[in-house]
Amino acid sequence: MTTKTRDGDFVVFDHVQKSYDGQTLVVEDLNLSIGRGEFLTMLGPSGSGKTTCLMMLAGFETATHGEIRLDDRNINQVPPHKRGIGMVFQNYALFPHMSVGENLAFPLEVRGLSKAERTDRIRRALDMVQMGGFETRRPAQLSGGQQQRIALARALVFDPKLVLMDEPLGALDKQLREHMQFEIKELHERLGITVVYVTHDQSEALTMSDRIAVFNDGRIQQLAEPAALYERPENSFVAGFIGENNALGGTISSLDGDRATVTLWNGEIIDATAVNIREVGQPTTVSIRPERVEFKPGMMADGAHRIDAEVAEVVYMGDILRARLKVAGQDDFVMKFRNTHGQTRLNPGEHIRIGWHPQDARALDPV
């Protein structure tokens, strides 16, 4: 899968493969183009190949087959320290015996910069991450969030055009992690650098990225902007991995372009948008997002499909309520709705009528 960007190709994976044993491919025939100044996230579960791709781009792993290009230059045989790439890791990777200033000076010394220029760049990099005045501190004297800021400053101090981030916020608590997400995104936009970011956190990817490449089994399952990825998943893996999703199994009973009629396993018939469906009789999994489901008759859109449901449980989540329903023979169908004043109460065992618009139901490959 190759997707061009409006600003041209800055990073290119051209038919890249990676195998550690000569038999099993950890990365299969990767074709990916990343635009200059883009924030691209490689997202997927453990073992999906995303980190291996990042390590090949960094130079810490070697591609078994194919070519990796950076700014029109083949870098397959270029050692990591000559690629001019900044790196940020989850464990910070700061030198504990060095001060903050010495940690930031190290990549500048390797590049032969003068002491005056090193001092100026260190000051600017620390100001970027709001850590000015911490030059003499040791990493052990800093909090986790402060250490990650220093790691980010070290990656930026030599003005790289490309920064790679491998699960950089994974060790932080939820509140600090969310704060750092916005800080990193703001830095990316202000500096105009290209960022390739690896995570298994879906909400993090949706919040920060220009585009997301969803990995599974060594392949990109879908490459798209966050909204398109969430609203229009191309297969059941993406639908289930990105956000919460309802999956109803059935068979395609009629097909007219991208409109399909699906007979669910319990005999219920619903309409859906066909995605990569080729023939009648094909098994399918219908994907429906929980927030697209309505249960108030006056709020259901014209043309909405309606179906009987039984309330199994209702969970209070603050700003929203999450109801687990028994629908079409399945007891794990989820509906989410806002917690507003005068909200209708639902009780376990209650029978209700729910509905959704056919365009919000996507007939995908079977799970």
Indicate whether 303 pLDDT > 80: no
Say what the pLDDT of residue 205 is: 95
CB 356 within 8 A of CB 291: no
Percent over 70 (pLDDT), the chain = 95
Q: How far is CA 319 from CA 25, 230, 336, 337, 338, in A?
A: 44, 21, 10, 9, 6
pLDDT at 178 over 50: yes
Q: How far apart are CA 311 and CA 364, in angstroms?
A: 26
210: left (phi over 0), alpha (psi -120 to 50) or beta: alpha
Nearest 10 degrees: CA dihedral of 43, 47, 49, 51? 70
Under a CB-based contact definition with an 8 Å cutoff, are residues 146 and 131 in contact? yes
For 286, residues 6+ apart whose C-beta sits below 8 A from its C-beta are 247, 248, 249, 250, 262, 264, 270, 272, 361, 362, 363, 364
Is residue 233 a contact partner of residue 285, using CB atoms and an 8 Å limit?
no
pLDDT digits (tens, 9 = 90+) for 31-56: 999 999 999 999 999 999 999 999 99
Average pLDDT of the residues in 279-302: 85
| C-beta of residue 196 within 8 angstroms of C-beta of residue 212 | no
Give me the mean pLDDT over the 16-23 stretch.
93
Asked whether residue 341 carries a pLDDT value surpassing 80, the answer given is no
Tell me: the pLDDT tens digits for 64-79?
999 999 999 999 999 9
Q: Where do the domains of the chain lie, and which CATH numbers do they carry?
A: 9-236 (3.40.50.300), 244-364 (2.40.50.140)
Q: Which uninterrupted H or E stretch holds 18?
A: strand 9-19
What sign results for the dihedral spanned by CA atoms 325, 329, 332, 335?
A: negative
- Who contacts 131 (Cβ-Cβ below 8 Å, separation ≥6)? 100, 146, 149, 150, 153
Task: Please choose, from the candidates 60, 69, 65, 72, the residue with its C-alpha nearest in 3D space to the C-alpha of residue 27.
Answer: 65
- Mean pLDDT for 92-110 is 90
Give the separation between CA 215 and CA 318, rounded to whole angstroms: 32
pTM reported for the whole predicted model: 0.90
Beta bridge partners of 141: none
Tell me what the mean pLDDT of segment 96-120 comes to.
Answer: 91
Query: 342 pLDDT exceeds 80?
Result: no
